[in-house]
Structures are given as C-alpha cells and as structure tokens.
Amino acid sequence: MSYLNYIGGQWIGAASGATFEDTNPADERDLIGAFPDSGAADVAAAVSAVKAARPAWSAASPEVRADILFKAADIMSRRADEIAAELTREEGKTINEARNEARRIAANFRLYAGEALRLNGETYPSEAGQLVLSVRQPVGVVAVITPWNFPLSMAARKIAPALAAGNGVIFKPSEITPLMGQRLVEVLLEAGLPANLIALVQGRGPTVGQAITAEPGIDALTFTGSFAVGKQIAASLSTDTRCQLEMGGKNATVVLADADIAKAAAIIERGAFGLTGQACTGTSRVLVARPLYDALVEKLAGVAKAIKVGPGTADGVKMGPLATRGQYEKVLAYIEIAKSEGARIVTGGEALRESGDDALAHGYFVSPAVIADLPADSRLMREEIFGPVVAIRAIDSLDEAIALADETEYGLAVSLVTNDLNAVMRFTRETQHGIIKVNSPTTGVSLNAPFGGFKHSSNQAAKEQGGANVMDFYSRIKTVYLGA
C-alpha cells in the first residue's frame, strides 16, 4: 500500500515522486507500505501552508482548541486497539506495550486540552494609575521531529501542547515508524483540526530534518533522538529559533546492600528488558553493593532466561524484536565488544534468527543479555546501546555509586533500590540526572510530571511533559503596561 504526505489540506506524494519502504521488524518480508521520501521542496510547501493557517487558529478561543483535543482523545480511545496492532507490526513492541502506548495518547490529549484553558498571564504591582500585566501568545510554526521507539506518545506530548497554545505544526515522524505518524494526524483531522494547521512530511531524517532546520519559517523546533543528531540540529538552527532537544541516556539502577534481591531483579527486568531495551530511560547499567553482587547476577540471569522472545502478537511473548536491522547488528556488535573486553556473558546476547525457530527466522530477535565482571573502562558501561543488554558492576559505597552513576556523558534517568532514607535523600540531592526513581524502574513516567535530562541528554531549554511548565516552550510572553 502507498501512503502520502499531508500538506496544504491534501494528501499528496513527495514533490520528487520518491518513496521508501516500511517493513515489519518481526518479519522483514512483511511490507507495511511505501511512504513519500520528501525533500526541501515538500518542507517549504508545508511551512507555507501552515503559516497561512496559523493566525486564525491562534485567534480561536481556548475553548475551541480544547474541544478539538478532547474529541481527538475520544477518537484515540475508540481506535486504540486497532492502532496498537499496527504499532506492534511496525515497531515490534509487544501488543500489551503497544496498547499501553496507544491508550496513553488519549490521556495526553486530555491533559493539554485542559492546558489550553489555563494559558494564564500575571499582574504585577506598579506605580499608581498603571496596571502591568503579562499575556501569553503562540510562538508560531512549530516543527516536531520524533523517534521510532515511542512513535505515538512522543509525538502526542509535543503536538498536543503546541496546538493547545495556538501554534501550527510541521510533523516529521521517524522513517522507521511512518504509519504511526499518519495515524496520529488522521485522528486530529477527524477531531476537526483545521485542514492546513498541521502538515505531515514523511521522509528520511538526514534529508527532511536538514530541510526543516534550514527553513526560515520555523519558529520553534522540538526533537527527541540521539545526541549526535541533536547536536547537528542545534548547530543548524538560526539563533532566533526556539529549540528543545531530548536526547540519549546511559541509565543506571543502583542497588544498595539493604535491598531485597527479588525486588531489585524485578525492577531491573522491567527497566532493562521491557520494550526490548529500546527506551531512552531504559536501564543499561546496574551498580550493586558487593555483598549482593553474585546473588543479583544469578537472579537476573534466571529472569532473563525466562523471558519469551518473539513476534509481539504471539502468546506469552514478553519481548519483541529490535526495531531495525541496524539496531539488531549494533546490539550484537556490543556483545562482541564485551567479549573482547574480557567480560562474562552470563546469559543471552544470541542472534535468535539463527536459532532454527521458524517464528524468529526473519526478524531482528536477540535474547536478553546479562553481562558481568566488566573492566572499569568498559565501553558497555559508558556508551548507549539501546537494546536488551544490561551490564553489572560491583560497588563498595554510596560515594562510589554516585560517582559511577554520573560518570557518563548522559544524565537522563537513574534508579535507586534501598530502604535507607538517608541514602535516598543524599543520592537524589547529589546525582546529576533529570529523573530519579526510588524503588522503581528507570522506565515509566507520569505524563503530568516534567520530563528531561541533564548533560548530553538534553539541551535543558524547557522540560517536556508536565502541565503549565510545558507551555513555556510553546508560548511567548508579552508584558503590557496599561496607563490611565
């Protein structure tokens, strides 16, 4: 099946006529469809159309904007199971994981529908006979560039607040999950969003992304992806374009000596192997108190061996394939790096498409890996892998735990497993991470709480998610002095 861009209120192909193919990571023979391989001309047309439509939307009452987002939430709720099945086929996550994501979109739409009604300003004390107040106005045209690992939820938490604030949107989904981008736009249009207010531009990141950053009509850009790409985007944008970047993570779970082994293993399992390890907040390092080291390694190995890997819709499957051949090859390459460093592969890290199981023969399946006895300078302790691989290292003190948790260039999420309140207070105060979880996995966040990292995980321009704080990125403030 062939799909199209949505530009200027019409479903159209790329100006060049070029397309790219989207396939199922659980079975690379399964072609999902062909999508427009867009370029600079398509981006320019999209910006022109959205820019023309935006003033009327900005002038619409907050109730109008909120009503459309509430309707979009209702439509998404109704279509959640249908879209979840497509998400599993396109991205590979299990059907339960896909349903959770699809249903979360409705909650996102409802949250930001409410924020449309709360775009408040303030008043300030001033001299007699004068009133000083601030008012919020939309930024303008917002470019939204999203990753493939959460193609619905990442997009919704950017697009919904942008629309709630009165902006127009240029949406570029990942070329790995283009169908999810299309479905999200369809839901918004069905809800009554004005035809020209959003543009869907499909295509490859290096082409469409560069065209977006070079386009002078973009007033703000929000991106989630790798640090390398985020750095390129920041360098390419003009100085007057707002930029929000959420990038990688090398997240640790720290297990102190008083922790329960079974509880710690369950927390690590969800953080490391849920979503096939393809979450920016996923656990890829475990720092465990030395007295618990051997027991936790053994327990995690048992947990990993018990995980059934396969197509996301198959009965009993807890972990699906990696999303692309590139990710599959990258994970296997890191297993070889671990071996070359002298680490011990306790379990997993196997290319399951070569296992002889017909259900796995054409997909990007790797067994969940537990790796122990790593050297201090191991690449697996520093570099983002983005797969079901967890590296374990012993620690001898809370000081060492904090130092090692912070030693990478990233600072997104960290988890601490302990019952020691003093340790919790010190750890949360000192560690350089934007998200700190206590006795819970590094993955899983509340949609009404701020999201973002430190260091190379974010440019820290503005937090994603949350409530009113999110609207600071999507709106600008004017200060008005009213005299008699």
Place 96 in a pLDDT band, splitting at 50, 70 and 90: very high
Res. 230: pLDDT tops 90: yes
Query: Token pair for residue 311?
Result: 């197509």
User: Pick from 149, 36, 33: which is nearest to 91 by CA?
Assistant: 149
Q: What is the pLDDT of residue 460?
A: 83
Please state, in angstroms and as integers, the Cα–Cα distance from residue 194 to each residue in 113, 157, 305, 378, following that order: 16, 19, 51, 52
Tell me the pLDDT of the chain averaged across its residues: 96
- When pLDDT is averaged across residues 80-109 and rounded to a whole number, the result is 97
Question: For the whole model, what pTM was predicted?
Answer: 0.96
Q: What is the pLDDT of residues 8-64, one digit of tens each?
A: 999 999 999 999 999 999 999 999 999 999 999 999 999 999 999 999 999 999 999
Q: What is the pLDDT of residues 414-446, one digit of tens each?
A: 999 999 999 999 999 999 999 999 999 999 999
Catalytic residue among 215, 246, 269, 464: 246
Q: What is the pLDDT of residue 103?
A: 95
Q: Going edge to edge, which strands form the sheet with 130-138?
A: 123-124, 130-138, 475-483
Q: What percent of the chain has pLDDT over 70?
A: 100
Place 243 in a pLDDT band, splitting at 50, 70 and 90: very high
Q: What is the pLDDT of residue 10?
A: 97
Q: What is the pLDDT of residue 261?
A: 98
Q: What is the pLDDT of residue 304?
A: 98
Place 354 in a pLDDT band, splitting at 50, 70 and 90: confident
Place 299 in a pLDDT band, splitting at 50, 70 and 90: very high
Cβ contact 316:91 at 8 Å: no
Place 187 in a pLDDT band, splitting at 50, 70 and 90: very high
3-state secondary structure of 5: strand
Please state, in angstroms and as integers, the Cα–Cα distance from residue 246 to each residue in 138, 225, 227, 434, 449, following that order: 22, 7, 8, 11, 15
Q: What is the pLDDT of residue 348?
A: 97
Res. 295: pLDDT tops 90: yes
The full set of domains in the chain, from first to last, is 5-247+458-483 (3.40.605.10), 251-438 (3.40.309.10)
d(CA 133, CA 126): 10
- When pLDDT is averaged across residues 342-349 and rounded to a whole number, the result is 97
Q: What is the pLDDT of residue 199?
A: 98
Q: What is the pLDDT of residue 469?
A: 79
**Burial category of 210 from C-beta neighbours within 10 Å (exposed 0-12, middle 13-18, buried 19 and up):** middle
Which of 113-122, 305-314, 434-443 has the weakest average pLDDT? 113-122
Give the residues across from 450 on adjacent strands. 465
Q: What is the pLDDT of residue 461?
A: 81
Res. 355: pLDDT tops 90: no
- When pLDDT is averaged across residues 115-123 and rounded to a whole number, the result is 92
Q: What percent of the chain has pLDDT over 90?
A: 93
Q: What is the pLDDT of residue 356?
A: 85
Known catalytic residue at 190: no
Q: What is the pLDDT of residue 127?
A: 82
Res. 463: pLDDT tops 90: no
Higher pLDDT, residue 234 or 67: 67
Res. 108: pLDDT tops 80: yes
